[in-house]
Amino acid sequence: MKKPYFKQNAEDPPPLKGRVTRRIRFEEVDMLTIAWHGHYTSYFEDARVLLGQNYGIGYMDLYAQGILTPIKTVHVDFIRPLKFMDKITIEGILHYSQAAKINSEYIIYNPQGEIAATGFTVQMMLNTDYELYLTQPEFYKNFCDQWRAGKIK
């Protein structure tokens, strides 16, 4: 069995999830007639943006609070190829963390509902002087407290 991308502690609230669909574009498909691997970071981003929108912690929400959230790590495991015009479903899974970072997991489903790829990103938090937050900034801590208290699902 595959090792999970993120460790879930017993006391952590369940992850937050969201799904978005997208169609594979002609320009995304390579000479082997499959989606080029580098585009999957964009597929992941669609789900991350959706989660951000749904929970009020999107790029622009955090930016408005003086919090920048650049990607620290991205990882993609490719399982089944995707073809031109495939309508894919991208699931974003936000994992709880007490640290000043955002741990997101992704699952891409092909039109048959099979897993086409999985992966994760880790985002840091910086202030507008590009200094690393060592603990969660207040705005994001409030969000996590609500989440842990079961008020956000």
Binding test (CB under 8 A) with its own copies, winner from 4, 19, 85, 87: 85
Of 59 and 133, nearer to its own copies (C-beta) is 59
* Residue 144 in the binding site for its own copies (CB under 8 A): no
Report in angstroms how near the CB of residue 79 gets to its own copies at its nearest: 9
* Residue among 67, 61, 39 at smallest CA distance from 49: 61
* Residue 99 in the binding site for its own copies (CB under 8 A): no
Of 73 and 135, nearer to its own copies (C-beta) is 73
Binding test (CB under 8 A) with its own copies, winner from 12, 17, 65, 76: 76
Binding test (CB under 8 A) with its own copies, winner from 2, 3, 11, 31: 31
State the sign of the Cα–Cα–Cα–Cα dihedral 125, 22, 108, 8: positive
**DSSP secondary structure, the chain, as one string:** -PPPSSPPPTTSPPPEEEEEEEE--GGGB-TTSSB-GGGHHHHHHHHHHHHHHHHT-SHHHHHHTT-B--EEEEEEEE-S---TT-EEEEEEEEEP-SSSEEEEEEEEE-TTS-EEEEEEEEEE-B-TT-PBPSS--HHHHHHHHHHHTT---
Of 115 and 145, nearer to its own copies (C-beta) is 115
Binding test (CB under 8 A) with its own copies, winner from 55, 84, 133, 139: 84
Give, as ranges, the residues between 33 and 72 that touch its own copies (CB under 8 A): 33-34, 36-42, 45-46, 49, 59-60, 68, 70-72
Binding site for its own copies (CB under 8 A): 25-27, 29-34, 36-42, 45-46, 49, 59-60, 68, 70-78, 81, 84-85
